[in-house]
Structure 1
Amino acid sequence: MIKTIALIYLILNVIGFYLMKLDKEKAKRNEFRISEKNLWITAFLSGAAGMTLGMKTFRHKTKHVQFKWGLPLLALLEAGLLLYLVIQLS
């Protein structure tokens, strides 16, 4: 059970990282972008850490206060929840 939760967490963070990369590339090419709503849905589904890393790596959405502060805070909350679940299930 713990391995499954950790795997899901990892996959969602890889997806979040990739979405930030993809949206940055689309922004550079003036293409149709990924909506902020979809980015936040991914973040709330436990992808916030990957999205935070992607935001910093690709310098994307760094001027948006909600992303600049919200994603790292959500990532910390999700990591705390994951740690709590691992402790409880051990």
Structure 2
Amino acid sequence: MSLFYSHLPIYWLLVSQLLSLFTLFFYWWDKRQAIKGNRRVKEATLHGLAMLGGWPGALIGREVFRHKTQKRPFYLILYSVSALHCAFTALFVYVALA
């Protein structure tokens, strides 16, 4: 059992990076669709991906692609999700080291 827990942060980091790349792709795709005037990705989908762990990719995508920068409710939710993930990660590390 301790072997599983000793590697848990590595797996978590790998999954987090993959989710971030996946989320970044969705931000790029949505921006591309917006420029073309085509059907867009729902905001709930973008928020859901961030909540699942893709928040770093969401933050990067928002800045790099200048995506949804004028929609205050959107970025307030995104920043809140990001802050919660950081808090839970800090709590996890604190408990793991205690």
Q: Structure 1 residue 20 and structure 2 residue 27: aligned?
A: yes
Report runs of 4+ in structure 1 exceeding 4 Å deviation.
none
Distance 1:67 1:15 in 2: 19
Whether the 8 Å CA contact 1:17–1:54 is kept in 2: the answer is yes
Corresponding residue for residue 50 of structure 1: 57
Distance 2:77 2:59 in 1: 9
Q: Pick 1 or 2: higher relative contact order, CA cutoff 8 A, min separation 6.
A: 1
Sequence identity (%): 24
**Which one has a bigger Cα radius of gyration?**
2
Q: Number of paired residues?
A: 90
Q: Flag structure 1 segments of 5+ consecutive residues without an equivalent.
A: none
* Offset, 1:30: 1.2
Q: Is the counterpart of residue 65 in structure 1 residue 68 in structure 2?
A: no
- Looking at structure 1, the residues matched to 79 and 30 of structure 2 have their Cα atoms a distance apart, in angstroms, of 18
Q: CA deviation at 1:81?
A: 1.2
Q: Give the Cα–Cα distance (whole angstroms) in 2 for the partners of residues 73 and 36 of structure 1.
A: 15
Distance apart, 1:59 and its partner CA:
0.7
What's the Cα RMSD here? 1.5
